[in-house]
Amino acid sequence: MKFINQAGWDRILRVFGGIALIVLYFADVLTGTLGIILAVAGGVFLVTGLAGWCPIYAMFRIRTNREVGAS
């Protein structure tokens, strides 16, 4: 089971940033090799934002939704 390690603002930024990159690629605004790289990056942003879990964050033990509990 994976756990949420992204805050709400982080997820919204990733989802709509990712959508923007993908749409710009299909609209031929982003072209060539750079366009493909940005479109793939957009796809990764979209999926990680929708899932709420970022493998890079987990690797470096980063969490943007860190909350202080009983302390």
* Among 10, 11, 30, 48, interactor with another protein by CB under 8 A: 11
Contact 12, 64 (CB under 8 A): no
Question: Whole-number minimum distance, CB 45 to another protein, in Å?
Answer: 11
Using CB under 8 A, pick the residue from 10, 22, 30, 48 that binds another protein: 22
- State yes or no: residue 13 binds another protein (CB under 8 A): no
Q: By CB under 8 A, is residue 48 in contact with another protein?
A: no
